Structure 1
Amino acid sequence: MGTHRRPKPPSRARIATLGIAAGAVSLLPTQSQAAPEPSMDEVRKQVAKLYEEAEAPTEEYNGIREQQQELQDEVDSAQDRLARKQQEVNELREKAGPLAAEQYRTGGIDPTVQLFLSSDPDDYLEKAEVLGRTGDRQAAALRALQGKQRELTQDRADAAKRLEALKEARAKAQEKKDEVQAKLTKARKLLNSLTAEQRAKVAAAQEHEDAAAGTSDATASYNGPAGGRAKTAIEFAYAQLGKPYEWGSTGPNSFDCSGLVGAAWRSAGVSLPRTVKQMYDAGRKVSKADLQPGDIIYWYNDSQHNGLYIGDGKVIHAPRTGKNIEIAQLDSMPFYAASRP
């Protein structure tokens, strides 16, 4: 029978180490010692900040999506051209085929030998003349084929570049989409960390804040001084009051900020670029003192948020996720600039 070795008792140093480790564990923060949960007001402010931060990448996403559509159109056109060129090359090959075959059958024998072997020299000379013309036609057909083949090769290279650019645009759009979604998801998690009663209080506090800022999403009709196309654009915006903000949307059931402005002016027959930045760059700048109903207002900077001035110091805009299209005071956000379509 084998002998059983008794386990070696722990050394004093080992015991001391274990004791220190146990003490360290006991000093780690327990659930009751965790950092305090943010207050309802802090949650509301964090959520508002996240929604605000989501606007810039939303506008970048809109611009990339517009570029992506242009690239897709270019790719479709390039593929159509390729198909036509390929058909032309195929037809030229078919034409050149019989000519090449004829030249092969007769071109392998020296002309002097052909004349010597011919029983009828006149007949040979007549055939030689025909073959000479055939050779000329073959050479012209081959030149045409080579030219079309070069064009086809170049078009294929161009189409490949456009396809690569389209892939890059798709990847960038997805990156911006993920960035927006991450901020919105974080905001939702913050809200979901509150109880139903706390969420109701947050909503009430937001409504109180909106009322103090003079905002309203109540359905109304425009009776201001605007005329012509500006009036048409404002009336369209009024008809959207109460519809939800949705990032990347241009209607008809929801809008983001630039989506609403673009749709309003489009209803008046004026085509605007897609994004806040593009609208700012394309518009005729006007000072705050010279504002007229229908002018586009930009807050914070030239690429984040915009809305439609309706007169009397008020605007219509699509605010942010979780809110509806509303009428607000012009100075409810930091005014940056204005432009006139």
Structure 2
Amino acid sequence: MATHRRPRQPRLARATLTAAAATAVALGAAAAAQASPADPAVASHPSEQEVKQQVDELYAQAETATERYDGTRERVRQLRVEAASLQDQVARGRDALNRMLEDLSEIAGAQYRSGGIAPTMQLMLSSDPDGYLDRATALDRLAAQQADVLHEVATKQRALDQRRAEAAARLADLETARHDLVRDKQDVQRRLGRARALLDTLTGGQRARLTAEDARAARQRVNAATGGVGLSSLPAPDARAATAVAAATGALGSPYFYGAAGPYSFDCSGLMYWAWRQAGVTLPRTSQAQAGAGRRIPLSEARPGDLVIYYGDMHHVGMYVGGGTIIHAPYPGARVRYESARTMPIAAVVRV
């Protein structure tokens, strides 16, 4: 029976084909590597300016998340206070209701002890009609008092039920807000972690150079805003604003830290909150809420102590100090410093 085998190729021919195939694969891989813009070796080593651009964007996102975190944390604090107050009201209401029920029980007992025979028959059988009439009048008064107490008990019970429902709602809101707080904190940390990872791709010298260049650029912008003659002597609108400006000025050089409101570190709205607290004024905690903390004015009318709110979502804030300049806490890794008021897009200027 005949077999159907392929004829054997010479060794030289097979070796030539193998070498040709290997060469083709190698050339194809090289071409693909050159054509692919996502070369991991290149992507893992961005330039200093690329790192700066990406880090700046992450810092902006982190600041937005920080303001959301600050707002959520303030809501948690308020809900805790409200829930505790409502729970206290429930406890007090329950004690008052119990006392009223005890009074009602005593009245009912008194009526029971004096009842059992019709009032006319009691009068006929009484050896002391005058005394009976006095007692009957007292019982009538007890009955009227009982009706009043019953009405008050019903009113108190309705109020107590309402307070219980409000307390339960606040506690539910508080639990939701706590979950939101954890989520917002994780969001901030995730973005800051990505920024740190990018910065870690640079050498220590490169990171120091970027920091120095950023600070130098800020000084140049301030000099340009003030005309190189320093801050103007424009007075604050009142003594409170002057005190707030003095406090913010005293914080120059303090580090930025998300969620911080002094006295040793700050985020942007935390610096405003702390500075105005030194003047006896309690601002809302977030930049978005601070935008509604006073009267809106144009930048041309700004005076020291006014709040300058930035960006469309109002996620950044600084304090105007005159000469077209603000004091603000810029971003993680930077320190509280002066900046030109027009460096960022202005959303609002607020006179507290």
TM interval, short-chain normalised? 0.7 to 0.9
Which residue does 1:315 correspond to in 2?
Answer: 326
Instruction: Tell me the TM-score normalised to structure 1 length.
Output: 0.76
Give the aligned residue type for 2:299: K
Structure 1 residue 40: Cα displacement? 4.3
Match of 1:209 in 2: 214
- Residue of structure 2 aligned with 1:142, choices 142, 150, 156: 150
Partner of 2:255: 244
Corresponding residue number in structure 1 for 2:118: 111
What code does the residue aligned with 1:205 have?
Answer: L
- Provide the residue aligned with 1:14 in structure 2: none
Amino acid at match of 1:173: L
Match of 1:46 in 2: 54
Cα distance in 2 between the residues matched to 1:335 and 1:136? 69
Q: Aligned pair in 2 of structure 1 residues 75, 113: CA closer, same or farther (>3 Å)?
A: same
Residues 302 and 337, structure 1, Cα contact 8 Å, conserved in 2: no
Provide the aligned length of Structure 1 versus Structure 2: 306
Any conservation in 2 of the 1:247–1:321 contact (CA below 8 Å)?
yes
Partner of 1:16: none
Partner AA of 1:190 in structure 2? L
Shift of 1:68: 2.9
- Say whether residues 1:175 and 2:183 are aligned partners: yes
Matching residue's letter, 1:274: R
Residue type of the alignment partner of 1:285? R
Instruction: Tell me how far 1:234 sits from its aligned partner.
Output: 2.2
- The SS at the match of 1:202 is helix
Rounded to whole Å, the distance in 1 between the matches of 2:320 and 2:148 is 67
> Greater CA deviation, 132-141 or 152-161?
132-141
Work out the CA distance in 2 between the residues paired with 1:144 and 1:314: 63
Q: Say if 1:44 and 1:202, in contact at 8 Å, map to a contact too.
A: no
Percent identity over the alignment is: 37
Q: Which residue of 2 aligns with 1:89?
A: 97
Paired residues of 2:268 and 2:318 also in contact (CA < 8 A): yes
Amino acid at match of 2:272: V
CA drift of 1:92 comes to 1.3
SS across alignment from 2:321:
strand
- State the Cα distance separating 1:270 from its structure 2 match: 3.8
Letter aligned with residue 292 of structure 2: D
Distance 1:50 1:120, change over 3 A: same
Per-residue deviation at 1:93? 1.8
Please report how far the alpha carbon of residue 307 of structure 1 lies from its aligned counterpart in structure 2 after TM superposition: 0.8
Give the C-alpha shift of residue 257 in structure 1.
0.6
The verdict on how the C-alpha distance between 1:327 and 1:89 changes in structure 2, with shifts beyond 3 A counting, is same
Instruction: Indicate how the Cα distance of structure 1 residues 39 and 199 shifts in structure 2: closer, same or farther if over 3 A, else same.
Output: farther
Q: How does 1:52-63 map to 2 (within 5 A)?
A: 52-63=60-71
* Structure 2 residue identity aligned to 1:311: G
Distance in 2, matches of 1:86 and 1:251, equals 42
Normalised by the length of structure 2, the TM-score is 0.74
2:234 pairs with 1:225: yes
**1:97 and 1:284, CA in 2 relative to 1: closer, same or farther beyond 3 A?**
closer
1:334 aligns with 2:345: yes
Identify which range, 231-240 or 112-121, moves more after superposition.
112-121
User: Secondary structure of the equivalent of 2:317?
Assistant: strand
Query: How far, CA to CA, are the matches of 2:166 and 2:211 in structure 1?
Result: 53
Deviation by residue 1:102-143 (Cα, 9 ceiling, x = unmatched) = 434554x45289659958584995565554444443333333
Separation of aligned partners in 2, 1:98 and 1:284: 61
Supply the distance in 2 between the matched residues of 1:138 and 1:214 (Cα, whole angstroms). Answer: 80
Q: 1:9 is matched with which residue? A: none
The answer to whether the Cα contact below 8 Å between 2:232 and 2:322 also exists between their aligned partners in 1 is no
Q: 2: CA distance between counterparts of 1:337 and 1:143?
A: 55
Q: CA 1:336–1:99 in 2, change beyond 3 Å: closer, same or farther?
A: closer
Which of 273, 288, 294 matches 1:283?
Answer: 294
Q: CA 1:139–1:249 in 2, change beyond 3 Å: closer, same or farther?
A: same
Structure 1: runs of 5 or more not aligned: 1-22
Q: Deviations over 1:241-289 (max 9, x none)?
A: 1111111111111111111123223333444322212222333333333
Measure how far apart 1:325 and its partner are.
0.6
Is the CA contact (8 Å cut-off) linking 1:215 and 1:327 kept in structure 2? no
